[in-house]
Amino acid sequence: MIHDQKTLAAASPIRSRGFLADMGRRFAHDPITLGAGGVLLVVALAALLAPWIAPADPNATSIVNRLRPPGTPGHPLGTDELGRDLLSRVIWGGRLTLFMGFTPVVVATLIGGFLGILAGYAGGWVNSAIMRGMDVFYAFPSVLLAVAISGALGGGLVNGLLALTLVFIPPIARVAESVTLQVRTQPYVEAAVATGASATRIVVGHVLKNVAGPILVYASSLISISIVIASGLSFLGLGVSPPDAEWGLMLSSLRQSVYVAPVNAVIPGAMIFLTSLCFNTMTDGLRHALNVKE
């Protein structure tokens, strides 16, 4: 009880100023987070607007123009091993890379969040059944599980998405379960039970509101990992298949040319690094703004 009062006392001044306004104010005073957000915005807009802003057809090959260095007239980032314009492929590649990074986290948040809240609220054997099942998948290193599942299924975009979703469900379910367990014993839940509210009403009206924040903050920290692993699958030949533009796949094919065109080979991977770095920086800023302690 003492602990509860402390939490309330700490939370009340934030509430009084308006939670979102306060968060926005903290973001505005954090130039690094803003910068990372700006870079991500540019990358995401470029990917969305690819058909209109890409200077050339990303799949138009030109054997005479193979592996031109960055700065070549007409090809600001040079060309790849089939003479395709690298800038256009980087812009188009952002679409598949971001899509493959985002989708598994979103789907896993819905499924893992549902399972975790159910396990945490129901308790008893439901909890044991769900959480011990999660523990088994948690016992695999995430890259190993992703490679093993997509490898067994035979690779490809859909199988890669499926594998990554399965990888992220257990950690999200764990976080959802532990925050639900904390919320379940709060006085306002006890009060709702005492007034005779149904379980569905309590979960939707009280529990969900209070666990959504921590679950979403945690899930957002998985996006950078998801992008890196998804591109890694494509790099290994288990994700997106040629000739589609995707950063991991581009890195994999340009890697054969490191002796001829080292700078070209570095570019697609540098995009993966930049995106992943900005997502992690954003997540740090978000944690800071929300005052989440690890």
Partner 1 sequence: MLRFVLHRLAYAVPIIVGVSLVCFLLVHVAPGDPASALIPDDTPPEIAAQIRAAYGFDRPLPIQYLTWLGNVATGDLGLALSTRRPVIEEVLPAVANTLRLAAGAIVLACVAGVVLGTLAAYRAGRTSDRAISAIGISGMSVPQYWLGIVLVIVFSVELGLLPATGMGHPDAGLAGQWQHMILPTITLATVPAGVIARSVRSAVSEVLQQEYVQALEAKGLPAAWIVLHVAKNAAPALLAIMGLQFANLLGGSILVETIFAWPGSGYLLNSAIFLRDLPLMQGTVLVLALFFVLANLAVDLLQMALDPRMNSARRGSG
Instruction: Tell me which of 69, 70, 133, 242 binds partner 1, using CB under 8 A.
Output: 133
Instruction: Tell me which of 14, 148, 193, 290 binds partner 1, using CB under 8 A.
Output: 148
Q: Residue 175 and residue 4: Cα distance in Å, rounded?
A: 20
22 by Cβ neighbours in 10 Å (0-12 / 13-18 / 19+) ranks as middle
Task: Check binding of 269 to partner 1 (CB under 8 A).
Answer: yes
Q: Residue 36 and residue 107: Cα distance in Å, rounded?
A: 25
Going by C-alpha positions, the residue among 117, 147, 119, 113 that lies closest to residue 131 is 119
Q: What residues numbered 217-246 form the site for partner 1, per CB under 8 A?
A: 224, 228, 231-232, 235-238
Instruction: Tell me which of 14, 151, 253, 290 binds partner 1, using CB under 8 A.
Output: 151
CA geometry: angle 44, 233, 157, nearest 5 deg: 70
Task: Check binding of 282 to partner 1 (CB under 8 A).
Answer: no
Give the residue with the Cβ less far from partner 1, 128 or 198: 128
Task: Check binding of 288 to partner 1 (CB under 8 A).
Answer: no
Task: Check binding of 127 to partner 1 (CB under 8 A).
Answer: no
The answer to whether residues 256 and 81 touch, using CB atoms and an 8 Å cutoff, is yes
Give the residue with the Cβ less far from partner 1, 78 or 248: 248
Task: Check binding of 149 to partner 1 (CB under 8 A).
Answer: yes
What 3-state class would DSSP assign to 127? helix
- Residue 196: how many CB atoms within 10 A of its CB? 7
> At its nearest, how many Å lie between partner 1 and the CB of residue 203?
26
- CA 150 to chain centroid, in Å, comes to 18
Which residues of the shown chain bind partner 1 in the complex (CB under 8 A)? 132-133, 135-137, 139-144, 147-149, 151-154, 224, 228, 231-232, 235-238, 248, 251, 255, 258-259, 262, 265-266, 269-270, 272-273, 276-277, 279-281, 284, 294
